[in-house]
Amino acid sequence: GILQHPDGTVLKQLQPPPRGPREQEFYNKVYDSDCCDSILLELREYLPKYFGVWSPPTAPNDTYLKLEDVTRKFNKPCIMDVKIGQKSYDPYASAEKIQQQVSKYPLMEEIGFLVLGMRVYHVSSDSYETQNQHYGRSLTKETVKDGISKFFHSGYCLRKDVVAASIQKVEKILEWFEGQTQLNFYASSLLFVYEGSCQATTVRLSDGTLAEKRRVPKGLLSGGDVLEYNNNIHVINSTENGKIEASVSKGLSKFYALHKKSCSKRHHSQLSLKVENSEQDNVWKSSTCITQEHLNGNVLPQLEKVFYHMPAETKESANVEVRMIDFAHVFPSNTKDEGYIYGLKNLITVLQNILDN
């Protein structure tokens, strides 16, 4: 497994030869201080940062790769490991090894990827759900979309902002593969990580109606702006005409400006947006009025819609990481890595279907 170093990096024990030395050689080549190859320099963007090798003082013969902990900046990291490519064995694998790998997941060649595991934080229960590689191998062409969509579900709703951001990250990696003919990757994975902690508590109004108060994960805005961590949805009151008035207070006018365009399109629905500018503190406030008849007495689903159906401009900057990992089977090449490209394209198609549906 992966160990944690006190300095915040992670330690991956070097595998026995030839796999371990091959992975170390790959990292050394990509992160060589004298590297001037534009292809390899760009590749660094899609890998964990590499800090050389490390051995514990008590066991100097044990060697570990010292790598960036991609999950470190997240409060409740949701993690998924997806093996990419049509073959999970390299060109030098024995017939026995090939048969072993193919029998594990016969659909690998047809689908081009395999879910090796996931760990998803559910806001509703304040707990993690974990799936191992047996879960991934149980997925078929018909069930793979629903199987992967579980990774993007918070327990309350589908995190479409995360799906959209993930697609953009994978597309960037695909662009890199389309433009390089130096390396072929086998049995390598993509590591998906996103922030799962949209901490939610339910508050009860005087008339017994339930409403939600939510903390927002950081990093929803582009251009270096960060959405304040304690922005909340507050239910103000239950009016005489059967409406619940909810105020969504934002500390950043930019976030409102991005939101305004999409909200204006909801004119025909039961959702109406009222905006007022407070000159004293220059804070934008929006109040969302939702008719109680339309909610059938339940305000939670509609508040989820207000919060999660954000415009594309904000979705793309959701706090998401997608990194390439596991390089024990990387080989020099003079052709495009068609197997990896095939897997990436199919994975993007599945993610797009999750987003569209």
What is the chain's mean pLDDT, rounded? Answer: 77
Task: Choose between 194 and 229: higher pLDDT.
Answer: 194
pLDDT at position 249, please? 36
- Of 212-221, 237-246, 273-282, 343-352, the range with the highest mean pLDDT is 343-352
CA distance 119 to 121: 7
Residue 202's φ and ψ, nearest 5 degrees, are -100, 130
Q: pLDDT digit string (tens) for 123-179?
A: 999 999 999 999 999 999 999 999 999 999 999 999 999 999 999 999 999 999 999
Confidence of residue 317 (pLDDT cuts 50, 70, 90): low
Task: Choose between 203 and 42: higher pLDDT.
Answer: 42
pLDDT at position 141, please? 96
For domain 70-198+319-356, give the fold.
D-amino Acid Aminotransferase; Chain A, domain 1 (3.30.470)
Q: pLDDT digit string (tens) for 55-92?
A: 999 999 999 999 999 999 999 999 999 999 999 999 99
Q: pLDDT digit string (tens) for 256-270?
A: 334 444 444 444 433
Among residues of the chain, what percentage have pLDDT more than 90?
65
Domain ranges in the chain?
1-69, 70-198+319-356
Q: pLDDT digit string (tens) for 206-253?
A: 444 444 434 444 333 333 333 333 333 333 333 344 443 333 333 333
Asked if the model's pLDDT at residue 354 lies above 80, the reply is yes
Strands (E), the chain: 2-4, 10-13, 50-54, 64-67, 77-84, 113-122, 127-131, 183-185, 188-195, 200-204, 210-214, 233-238, 243-249, 272-278, 283-291, 320-325, 330-332
Report whether 318 contacts 220 (CB < 8 A): yes
Q: pLDDT digit string (tens) for 107-123?
A: 999 999 999 999 999 99
